[in-house]
């Protein structure tokens, strides 16, 4: 039965080089690069008489969702890391995703040809970000500074690396015996935490044999108890066979994945398949990548509530049709628009993907407008289709401008999205900044008297109102009230005055919507023939507009509560970032959901959100992210306020 491994990790850690090596294990030539930086590369290969699939995920943190999606369909994951302990933090987002997913994971310290640090220090650096114990399974053999081979700590066999070829078995070099013994004891102790037999052997001071220990290692990985760590160099082809053997013996079969997914989804109906990627192409339409979790996935069967279209090879999706995907196999579906880009499929329904795979909040926002105005509808349709498949894109209508507000994970993600819009959907776009949502209010109470009277031809219009317009508490919004006595304004007209008052708050003297104002109708007059709802509404609006003009306006700027999710080592570095943006630090706590991470909370003015992703990434080596929610409005005075008001006036004059 085919098994599937997701290969994830920070950029340049050698994921693609490793997957190429897997292909070459049995002489297959590796396929070319993924079509775009946003796409995973899906590669099928054979190994020891068994079919395998590797999902070579993009490394950029902006496409982390692709790695997360791949975790939903993988039997095991290989997390590639650099041998530099200073870069351990770059693996933190991936360790976080792996632990949230509960998928068996193997760490692969790649680029050992460049390693200068001790392997135990590299592992210690990574351990800061993992709740699972990371178990070193090999120790390197060094000649001078150079790593020339490795010892397997279970079999206690030593291997000398050979350039681009399988390593040669050698006798255990005497100088490494002590280190080997120490590391082996540590490994066995970790494994013994999950195996009574092994614990007994250790207590009785017996040397356990390799065979049973390999069996324990396989079970412990399948049960997701520890994260084993292997070492090598994809670039030089070293340690690859050992890693591939670990996969072959230790990665669970697809039934384990199907059971885990079904339990998470709480479904009784058998899961037939899971989808993990979608791509739109001009003329071809939409292609969806899936993994069969059971037998019986073939064209025209019921899958996900409708008939499945055709299937093509998952690796070279231009190649021939596939008539059946065996359980565990991958394929790409075309003409199956009912399938979600990521989801779990029974025969009759498409269920949502697991909760732990939920997307991150958008990190940068802009408004996308079509270059050609006629493409308005086309743009919104295309954006809706893209966002349905890529959950890390968030599209909404901007309440201020009515335009298409698009939030992505960063500038490369946005560029890829715009290329898809242009190349696939034929919509060229321009990027516009999201205007900050300023508001205004008044600081002084005003009393106004407004009479609306019109005598044109037939029926006239008459309404007379006396109003107080006064500041309301911050955040209390707009309130309309009345204290009219003796029917001076008949009851049935009062709601019209209120509606008119509210109309007037749509735009205040500074040009922004008015909030936190209380309007009270105190008195007035009516006419038995000429008064109407309309007349009172007009009077209410004009009266409140006058009151606002007298009330001394101030600008209000929005403040958001921002939650930064960062490895704890960076929390201190956020303090100056928040101060420079005129924000206020609220505090930080350990993130209960991710080892080694903090949630750092701050209040920041809305105008700071635009550049926040860039600043956050520069102080967290690219790995931090944030989410935010509107918190409150706060007065803005002085030069800044003048600048905003002047810009608003200019914008209105231009329209
Ligand atoms: N020295 C050395 N270089 C390596 C090794 N593995 C990969 N490389 C090189 O590192 C660079 C990046 O390797 P890739 O395989 O493209 O890395 P990746 O993780 O797929 O990168 P992204 O897909 O961009 O995230 C390439 O130039 C590789 O040739 C290795 O073991 N040793
Ligand atoms: Mg790559």
- C-beta of residue 489 within 8 angstroms of C-beta of residue 524: yes
Looking at residue 649, what is its pLDDT? 84
Q: In this prediction, what percent of the chain has a pLDDT beyond 90? A: 87
Label residues 67-85 b or e (16+ Cβ within 10 Å = b): bbbbbbbbbbbbbbbbbbb
Do the Cβ atoms of 342 and 391 come closer than 8 Å?
Answer: yes
Ligand nearest to the CA of 112: 1
Instruction: Show the domains of the chain with their CATH numbers.
Output: 3-252 (3.40.50.300), 271-348 (2.40.30.10), 364-432 (3.30.70.870), 440-551 (3.30.230.10), 555-646 (3.30.70.240)
pLDDT of residue 164: 78
Q: Is the CB of 13 under 6 A from ligand 1?
A: yes
Q: What is the whole-number distance in angstroms between the Cα of residue 42 and the centre of ligand 2? A: 11
> What pLDDT, on a 0 to 100 scale, did the predictor assign at position 162?
92
> pLDDT tens for residues 515-542?
999 999 999 999 988 999 999 999 999 9
In this prediction the pTM is 0.92
What local confidence, expressed as pLDDT, does residue 651 receive? Answer: 81
Residue 646 CA to residue 638 CA, distance in Å, equals 12
Task: Kindly give the distance from the C-alpha atom of residue 40 to the centroid of ligand 2, in angstroms, as a whole number.
Answer: 8
Mutate which of 37, 235, 236, 623 to test ligand 1's pocket (most atoms within 8 Å of Cβ)? 235
Q: Measured in angstroms, how far is the CA atom of residue 33 from the centroid of ligand 1?
A: 13
Residue 415: the pLDDT is 97
**Alpha-carbon separation of residue 92 from 384, 390, 651 (angstroms):** 31, 23, 45
Helices (H), 292-410: 376-389
Question: How far away, in angstroms, is 86 Cα from ligand 2 center?
Answer: 21
Asked if the model's pLDDT at residue 456 lies above 80, the reply is no
Q: Would the pLDDT of 203 be above 70? A: yes
Q: Residue 401: which of 432, 378, 370, 374 has the closest Cα?
A: 432
Coil/strand/helix, residue 610? coil
Cβ of 16 less than 6 Å from ligand 1:
yes
- Ligand 1 proximity of 82 Cβ (cutoff 6 Å): no
Nearest to 84 by CA among 61, 116, 108, 106: 116
Atom of ligand 1 nearest to the CA of 114: 1
pLDDT of 337 higher than 60: yes
C-alpha closest to that of 576 among 619, 625, 627, 629: 619
H helical segments located in 251-375? 254-265
CA of 9 to the centre of ligand 2 (A): 9
8 lines ligand 1 (CB under 6 A): no
Pocket test of ligand 1: the residue of 16, 22, 58 to mutate, having most ligand atoms within 8 Å of its CB, is 16
Does the CB atom of residue 12 touch ligand 1 within 6 A?
Answer: yes
Q: What is the pLDDT of residue 132?
A: 96
- In whole angstroms, how large is the CA radius of gyration of the chain? 32
Mean pLDDT of 112-124: 96
Mean residue pLDDT across the chain: 94
Please tell me if the CB atom of residue 164 comes closer than 6 angstroms to any atom of ligand 1: no
Whether 650 is in the pocket of ligand 1, judged by its Cβ within 6 Å, is: no
Q: Which two tokens stand for residue 34?
A: 């993924």
- Label residue 163 by pLDDT band (50, 70, 90): confident
Beta strand residue intervals within 260-403, DSSP E: 273-281, 285-292, 302-303, 306-307, 310-313, 330-334, 343-345, 350-351, 364-370, 394-397
Q: Which of 336-350, 516-530, 639-653 has the lowest mean pLDDT?
A: 639-653
| Ligand 1 atom index nearest CA of 19 | 15
**C-alpha distances in angstroms, 367 versus 382, 386, 415, 604, 610?**
14, 15, 13, 21, 12
| pLDDT of 395 higher than 70 | yes
- Which token pair is 622? 């690219």
Q: Quick check: 165 pLDDT over 80?
A: yes
Q: Which of 19, 69, 80, 452 is nearest to 231 (CA)?
A: 80
Mean pLDDT of 472-482: 94
**What is the predicted pLDDT for the residue at 645?**
85
Distance 11 CA to ligand 1 centre (A): 8
List Cβ neighbours of 32 (8 Å cut-off, separation of 6 or more).
none
- Report residue 646's pLDDT band, with 50, 70 and 90 as the boundaries: confident
**Does 532 contact ligand 1 (Cβ within 6 A)?**
no
Instruction: Tell me the average pLDDT across 582-603.
Output: 96
- Report the 10 Å Cβ neighbour count for 436: 15
Question: 113: Cβ below 6 Å to ligand 1?
Answer: yes
> Residue 321 is inside which H or E element, if any?
none
**pLDDT above 90 (res 211):** no
Q: CA 406 to CA 401: how far, in whole Å? A: 13
- Work out the angle at residue 366's Cα, subtended by the Cα atoms of residues 363 and 368, and round it to the nearest 5 degrees: 135
For ligand 1, mutation pick of 17, 94, 167 (most atoms within 8 Å of CB):
17
Q: How far apart are CA 512 and CA 246, in angstroms?
A: 64
Residue 114 beta carbon below 6 angstroms from any ligand 1 atom:
yes
Q: Give 21-29's long-range contacts (Cβ < 8 A, gap of 24+).
A: 21/234, 21/237, 21/240, 22/47, 22/52, 22/54, 22/240, 22/244, 24/237, 25/240, 25/241, 25/244
* Ordered alpha helix ranges (H), 193-253: 196-203, 210-222, 240-250
Nearest CA to ligand 1 atom 21: 12
pLDDT band of 652, cuts 50, 70, 90 = confident
* Cα–Cα distance, 385 to 380 (Å, whole number): 9
Question: Is there a contact between 370 and 364 (Cβ–Cβ < 8 Å)?
Answer: no
Rounded to the nearest angstrom, the distance between the alpha carbon of 41 and the centre of ligand 2 is: 8
Question: Hey, how many other C-beta atoms are within 10 angstroms of the C-beta on 261?
Answer: 19
Q: Is residue 457's pLDDT more than 80?
A: no
Ligand 1 within 6 A of CB of 67: no
d(CA 474, CA 457): 46
For residue 644, which of 583, 516, 555 has the smallest C-alpha distance? 555
Separation of CA 432 and ligand 1 centre (Å): 36
Measured from the Cα of 112, ligand 1's closest atom is: 31
Contacts of residue 558, Cβ cutoff 8 Å, sequence gap at least 6: 436, 437, 438, 439, 605, 606, 630, 631, 632, 633
pLDDT of residue 653: 82
Which residue has a Cα nearest atom 32 of ligand 1?
111
Summarize pLDDT for 27-83 with one digit per residue, the tens.
989 998 888 889 999 999 999 999 999 999 999 999 999 999 999 999 999 999 999
- How far does residue 15's CA lie from ligand 2's centre (Å)? 5
* Ligand 1 site, residue 296, Cβ cutoff 6 A: no
Report the pLDDT averaged over residues 374-400. Answer: 95
Q: Which residues contact 363 (CB under 8 A, 6 or more apart)?
A: 62, 407, 408, 409, 410, 612, 613, 625, 626
Euclidean distance between CA atoms 275 and 338, whole angstroms:
12
Place of tokens 């939409």: 286
Q: How far is the CA of 29 from the centre of ligand 1 (A)?
A: 17
Confidence of residue 326 (pLDDT cuts 50, 70, 90): very high
Contacts of 322 (CB under 8 A, 6+ apart): 311, 312, 313, 331
pLDDT at 320: 72
Whether 239 lines ligand 1, by a CB cut-off of 6 Å, is no
To 10 degrees, what angle do helices 494-504 and 533-550 make? 40
Atom from ligand 1 closest to the CA of residue 80: 19
Nearest atom, ligand 1, residue 13 CA: 19
Distance 356 CA to ligand 1 centre (A): 29
87-108 pLDDT, tens per residue?
Answer: 999 999 999 999 999 999 999 9
Q: Are strands 273-281 and 133-136 parallel, antiparallel or unpaired?
A: unpaired
CA of 110 to the centre of ligand 1 (A): 9
pLDDT at 319: 62
Question: Which atom number of ligand 1 is nearest to the Cα of residue 232?
Answer: 31
Q: Is 343 in the pocket of ligand 1 (CB under 6 A)?
A: no
Does 317 score more than 70 pLDDT? no
**Helices (H), ranges, 299-410:** 376-389
- Give the number of the atom of ligand 1 that is nearest the alpha carbon of residue 17: 15
């Amino acid at each position: 039965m085919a098994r599937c491994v997701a290969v994830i990790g920070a950029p340049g850690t050698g994921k693609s080089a490793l997957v190429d090596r897997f292909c070459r294990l049995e002489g297959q030539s590796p396929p070319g690069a993924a079509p775009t930086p946003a796409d995973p590369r899906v590669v099928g290969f054979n190994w020891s008489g068994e079919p395998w699939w590797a999902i070579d995920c993009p490394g950029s943190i902006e496409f982390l969702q692709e790695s997360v999606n791949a975790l939903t369909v993988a039997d095991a994951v290989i997390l590639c890391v650099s041998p530099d302990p200073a870069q351990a933090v770059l693996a933190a987002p991936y360790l976080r995703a792996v632990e949230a997913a509960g998928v068996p994971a193997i760490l692969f310290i790649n680029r050992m040809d460049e390693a200068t640090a001790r392997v135990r220090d590299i592992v210690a650096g990574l351990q800061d970000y993992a709740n699972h114990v990371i178990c070193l399974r090999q120790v390197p053999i060094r000649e001078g500074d150079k790593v020339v081979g490795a010892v397997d700590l279970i079999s206690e066999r030593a291997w000398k690396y050979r350039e681009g070829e399988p390593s040669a078995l050698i006798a255990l070099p005497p100088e490494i015996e002590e280190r080997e013994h120490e590391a082996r004891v540590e490994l066995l102790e970790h494994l013994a935490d999950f195996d009574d037999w092994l614990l007994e052997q250790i207590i009785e001071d017996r040397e356990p044999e390799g065979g049973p220990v390999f069996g324990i290692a396989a079970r412990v990985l399948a049960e997701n108890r520890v994260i084993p760590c292997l070492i090598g160099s994809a670039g030089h082809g070293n340690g690859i066979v050992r890693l591939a053997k670990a996969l072959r013996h230790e990665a669970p079969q697809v039934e384990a994945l199907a059971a885990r997914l079904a339990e998470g989804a709480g479904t009784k109906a058998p899961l037939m398949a899971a989808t993990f990627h979608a791509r739109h192409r001009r003329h071809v339409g939409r292609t969806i990548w899936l993994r069969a979790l059971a037998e019986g996935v073939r064209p025209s069967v019921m899958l996900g509530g409708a008939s499945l279209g055709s299937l093509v090879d998952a690796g070279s999706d231009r190649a021939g049709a596939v008539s059946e995907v065996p359980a565990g196999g991958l394929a790409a579906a075309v003409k199956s628009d009912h399938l979600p880009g990521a989801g779990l499929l029974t025969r009759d329904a498409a269920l949502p993907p697991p909760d732990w795979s939920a997307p991150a909040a958008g990190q940068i926002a802009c408004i996308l407008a079509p270059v050609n105005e006629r493409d308005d509808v086309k743009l919104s349709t295309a954006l809706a289709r893209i966002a349905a498949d890529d959950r890390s894109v968030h599209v909404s209508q901007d309440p201020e401008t009515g335009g298409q507000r698009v939030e992505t994970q960063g500038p490369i993600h946005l560029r890829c999205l715009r290329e898809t819009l242009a190349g696939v959907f034929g919509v060229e776009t321009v990027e516009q900044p999201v205007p900050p949502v300023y508001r205004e209010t008044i600081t002084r109470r005003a009393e106004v008297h407004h009479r609306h009277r019109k005598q044109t031809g037939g029926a006239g219009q008459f309404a007379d109102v006396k109003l107080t317009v006064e500041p309301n508490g911050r955040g209390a919004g707009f309130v309309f009230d009345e204290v009219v006595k003796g029917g001076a304004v008949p009851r049935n007209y009062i709601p019209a005055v209120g509606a008119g008052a509210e109309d007037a708050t749509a735009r205040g003297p500074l040009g922004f919507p008015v909030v936190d104002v209380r309007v009270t109708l105190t008195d007035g007059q009516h006419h038995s023939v000429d008064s109407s709802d309309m007349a009172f509404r007009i009077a209410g609006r004009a009266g409140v507009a006058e009151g606002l003009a007298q009330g001394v306006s101030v600008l209000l700027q929005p403040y958001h509560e921002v939650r930064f999710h960062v490895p704890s080592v960076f929390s201190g570095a956020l303090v100056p970032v928040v101060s420079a943006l005129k924000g206020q630090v609220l505090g930080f706590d350990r993130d209960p959901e991710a080892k080694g991470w903090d949630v750092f909370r701050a209040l920041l003015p809305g105008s700071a959100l635009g550049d926040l992703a860039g600043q956050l990434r520069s102080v967290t080596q690219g790995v931090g992210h944030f989410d935010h929610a509107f918190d409150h409005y706060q007065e803005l005075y002085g030069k800044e306020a003048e600048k905003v008001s002047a810009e608003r006036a200019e914008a209105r004059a231009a329209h």
